Amino acid sequence: MDQKSVFVNGIEFNNDKPLAIIAGPCVIESREMIMQTAEELVRITKKLGLGLIFKSSFEKANRSSASSFTGPGIEEGLKILAEVKEKFNIPVITDIHCPEHAEKASKVVDVLQIPAFLSRQSDLAAATAKTGKVVNVKKAQFTAPADMHIILDKYNNDSAEETVMQCERGTCFGHNGLVVDFAGFKAMKASGYPLIMDATHAAQIPGGNGTTSGGKREVVADLAKAAVAIGVAGVFLEIHPDVAVAKCDQPNQFPLQQAEELLTQLKQLDNLIKSQPALDIK
């Protein structure tokens, strides 16, 4: 099937086209941290010629413990994201968790992101589609790759332009682990919707530390490279300037200090893969 293109401020997401990047800290911890990270990611992606959407959440509603840090809230969070957008002239994306968030967030951000556990919520899908914004829908940890297109269709609106992207973040079989089914990428891409690889959440171990999630930061680069080698529209990376003190997803966020090295390798690999004709194996 022909692959669809989704455009965000001139950045094209298409499984057959050059790679784009969605990156930033898991959650807004402070204005200073967000601006520092955004500035460095803009520098790196401009140097490499990679399209960038800056990501951070005003709130993380799905936490292991009631005591976990959730963020500054929608009012303050959107204010900071609006500043990033204006200062660096880049699009921004954030998670939303309920229908009421959709309209309010859509006035600031360029892309609305649906967390995996909420991807099948019909009222949230309807409210999101109504905004007309591009939406990145994370595949639920319990959803089969071939069934993802059914969920994505719920987020389509009446626009003549494509506005829906899908995001792989691993499948859960219980006992805290996540497994990425790379063979399932073919089934997901068969729908034509742009496929984003969330390499950081795929390295997560939900609830692995008891009251907080664990993770395997050391496999993030491997997961990202494997996805790019198959051919994806983009890679999603949660990147933090000081992972040792990150207030959310600390074990699997990627260090900002190593982001240029990883993104350089992903760019090189993407160029190699997409410059070759696809193997037509029957």
Residue 168, CB half-sphere, CA atoms under 13 Å: how many? 34
Q: What is the DSSP string of 8-33?
A: ETTEEE-TTS--EEEEE-SB---HHH
Residue 162 has a pLDDT of: 95
pTM exceeding the 0.85 threshold for the entire prediction: yes
Radius of gyration of the chain (CA): 17
Query: What's the CA gap between 225 and 197, in Å, rounded?
Result: 10
pLDDT reported for residue 209: 59
Q: Residue 157: its pLDDT value, please?
A: 84
Specify the pLDDT at position 10. 97
E strands, 126-185, are 134-138, 164-168, 171-172, 178-179
Q: What is the DSSP string of 171-191?
A: EE-STT-EE--GGGHHHHHTT
Reduce the DSSP state of residue 236 to 3 states and report it.
strand
What domains does the chain contain, in order, with CATH numbers?
13-61+68-274 (3.20.20.70)
User: For each of the chain's 282 residues, which pLDDT tens digit applies?
Assistant: 789 999 999 999 999 999 999 999 999 999 999 999 999 999 999 999 999 999 999 997 764 555 567 789 999 999 999 999 999 999 999 999 999 999 999 999 999 999 999 999 999 999 999 999 999 999 999 999 999 999 999 999 878 789 999 999 999 887 778 899 999 999 999 999 999 999 999 998 876 555 566 778 999 999 999 999 999 999 999 999 999 999 988 889 999 999 999 999 999 999 999 999 888 888
Task: Copy the structure tokens of residue 95.
Answer: 């998670």
Which residues make Cβ contacts (< 8 Å) with residue 42, sequence separation at least 6?
Answer: 52, 54, 88, 90
- Which 3 state secondary structure label does DSSP give 208? coil
For residue 255, the surrounding DSSP H or E stretch is strand 254-255
